Structure 1
Amino acid sequence: MSERRERVRRRAPRTSLALVGVLALAGLLFAVNSQVSREHESRYADGLAGLVAEETELVRQLTADAEALRTEVDDLTDRLDEDHVPDAVTVGSASAAGRTPVTGPGLTVTLDDAPADSPQPPGVHPDDLVVHQQDIEAVVNALWAGGAEAMAIQGQRIVTTSAIRCVGNVLLLHGQVYSPPYTISAIGEPEVLRAALDASPAVAVYREWAGAVGLGWSVQLPPRLDLPAHEGGTELRYARVPDGVDVFADVEPAALDPLAGGR
């Protein structure tokens, strides 16, 4: 009996040491895994930030290249047409297309987010406190409807190919990123443009919210506005069917006839 107890006593420290070793190894593995996870997340965040920086720099370089080419084209055009006086139609078309700077009377509209620390009525969500894409589009559409001859947002000329996009509370326009406040400038008859803003239902919704939660809204009538020429391309891109592809090859004839099969 005493010999058996002696074996048990000798075996117990070995078991304890093995258990301690297993726990230590598990802790080491957990620490290593946690460190690897943090390094992976850090590399991912750094990689994403680097990608954004690279794309922003690419846009800047392409914009500079486009401006240099535009200057070269303008110089060649001036030398080619130095004895030719452009007619009113040519000048008007270039102005409407945004290819030339425009100066004249008009107005500016400024939209801004509500102050983050301002008291809000019950039921208001954070999303209600920022300027959205549809708010900017409402102002732009109202000004075009009011006869605006030219327009710019954040100093960038708006043309037919301009796309207004908002991500969160930042504006993406012509490859650039802008934060509020957003300034929309339009050249035209100031009072007519103001009346168009007052008559727009979509603008009225924004102004109602502005009064309720503190969104920024202001209209100024400067004596003169100077809008720059558009610095990007204006060509339209559209989808087309590749050569040799029949889009109606797998469509039943009845599907092509709107009167087939009755109502």
Structure 2
Amino acid sequence: MWRRGDGSPWPESLWVLTQVTARCCDNLLVTANEPLARRGSGPDEAPAQGVGPQRKPIIWRVGVPLVCALAGFLLAATHTVSGGNEIRRGDSPSPRLVDLVRETQKSVDRLSAARDGLASEMAAAREQSAGGDSKVAAALAETGEMADAAGVRPVTGPGLVVTLTDAKRDSYGRFPRDASPDDLVVHQQDVEGVLNALWSAGAEAIQMQDDQRLVASSVPRCVGNTLLLHGRTYSPPYVITAIGDADAMQAALDAAPLVTLYRQYVARFGLGYTVTRGHHLEVAGYRDAVGPGRAVPLQGP
């Protein structure tokens, strides 16, 4: 095994590639010299005078060094690009973007769990303080009314569950022949069309996926084929749960222009769209900090 100047071994892939290249060069030299030895072994086997027989040995003699030089250049370039490490190793110092997203998601989940634990401790402390102080009890009652309006508390009741998902392949594993990639995925305008229709019908509470309560400051955004909401990324299917008058919300969905357009793509390209009714749906409370702001008018020139 070769070693660097500091005594550390070279990467195994570089050593193997060097050995293979050296053997290839040896085989080329042997192949190039064998015809010359046979041709010069006897008077009957001497090559005829002409241009053709003399040109082939010259090509080999020039081509073999060029091939070896090119192989050496590729070895040097590979070593420079890899930084002395294995190019295809799983523990490469340059992680992929998907790995970074996955690690960041784990960090967000861990911090969210810690936040929820602290919030529970604060709520328990407030309840304990309210038991011995009438002013604290009155303040907690007032904040409780505001919590319902802000969407902080969970809600249970009848409503609709709307599911949007990307197109699936047919039984032969193919998509429609005239479909572009944008025709086969759920876009942000599709999600917004459903949400706006539900809000316009008087929905009391709406959540996306399993635990993301939507409030006035919530902005679901589609990044590629994923949904970004409250610092988390979600993949299809996108599940929207709304509590309220089911008949009114269904009528609003049927009349919404963006939802109608999406349903046309459902029929044409196989996108997913389902609406189901529920009598005892649960919507989680908003768990992030609520910090409403106010609009400030622009100053004139």
TM normalised by structure 1 equals 0.75
Contact 2:169 2:175 in 1 (8 A): no
User: 1:109 is matched by which residue type in structure 2?
Assistant: V
Match in the other structure for 1:216:
272
Change in Cα spacing, 1:116 to 1:35, as seen in structure 2 (3 Å) is farther
Gaps of 5+ in 1: 1-12, 241-246, 249-254, 257-263
Tell me, in whole angstroms, the C-alpha distance in 2 between the residues paired with 1:23 and 1:87: 82
1:75 maps to 2:119: no
Change in Cα spacing, 1:112 to 1:99, as seen in structure 2 (3 Å) is same
1:48 maps to 2:97: yes
**1:111 aligned residue (164, 167, 184):** 164
- Displacement of 1:49 after TM fit? 4.3
- Displacement of 1:222 after TM fit? 0.8
**2:71 aligned residue (6, 27, 40):** 27
Change in Cα spacing, 1:124 to 1:26, as seen in structure 2 (3 Å) is closer
Match in the other structure for 1:145:
200
- Displacement of 1:239 after TM fit? 11
Identity %: 40
Tell me, in whole angstroms, the C-alpha distance in 2 between the residues paired with 1:239 and 1:113: 37
**2:180 aligned residue (117, 121, 125):** 125
Residue 46 of structure 1: SS of its match in structure 2?
A: coil
For the aligned residue pairs, the C-alpha RMSD in angstroms reads: 3.3
User: 1:76 is matched by which residue type in structure 2?
Assistant: A
**1:66 aligned residue (112, 115, 121):** 115
Residue 148 of structure 1: SS of its match in structure 2?
A: coil
Change in Cα spacing, 1:44 to 1:144, as seen in structure 2 (3 Å) is farther
CA displacement 1:61-99 (0-9 Å, x = unmatched): 221121112112211221223464789875443123121
Tell me, in whole angstroms, the C-alpha distance in 2 between the residues paired with 1:87 and 1:79: 11
Tell me, in whole angstroms, the C-alpha distance in 2 between the residues paired with 1:205 and 1:123: 18
Query: Which residues of 2 match residues 151-190 of structure 1 at below 5 A?
Result: 151-155=206-210, 156-190=212-246
Change in Cα spacing, 1:48 to 1:221, as seen in structure 2 (3 Å) is closer
- Displacement of 1:18 after TM fit? 8.7
User: 1:62 is matched by which residue type in structure 2?
Assistant: L
Change in Cα spacing, 1:37 to 1:117, as seen in structure 2 (3 Å) is farther
Tell me, in whole angstroms, the C-alpha distance in 2 between the residues paired with 1:177 and 1:41: 28
**1:199 aligned residue (255, 273, 277):** 255
- Displacement of 1:219 after TM fit? 0.8
Residue 116 of structure 1: SS of its match in structure 2?
A: coil
User: 2:190 is matched by which residue type in structure 1?
Assistant: D
Gaps of 5+ in 2: 1-56
Moved over 6 A (4+): 16-19, 85-89, 237-240
Change in Cα spacing, 1:236 to 1:30, as seen in structure 2 (3 Å) is farther
User: 1:158 is matched by which residue type in structure 2?
Assistant: L
Tell me, in whole angstroms, the C-alpha distance in 1 between the residues paired with 2:95 and 2:141: 54
CA displacement 1:119-168 (0-9 Å, x = unmatched): 66553212101111111111011101110111000021111222211122
Contact 1:108 1:219 in 2 (8 A): yes
The size of the alignment, in residue pairs, is 230
Tell me, in whole angstroms, the C-alpha distance in 1 between the residues paired with 2:195 and 2:215: 12
Change in Cα spacing, 1:129 to 1:47, as seen in structure 2 (3 Å) is closer
User: 1:96 is matched by which residue type in structure 2?
Assistant: A
Change in Cα spacing, 1:237 to 1:89, as seen in structure 2 (3 Å) is closer
Match in the other structure for 2:32:
none
TM normalised by structure 2 equals 0.66
Match in the other structure for 1:57:
106
Contact 2:188 2:220 in 1 (8 A): yes
Match in the other structure for 2:38:
none
Match in the other structure for 1:134:
189
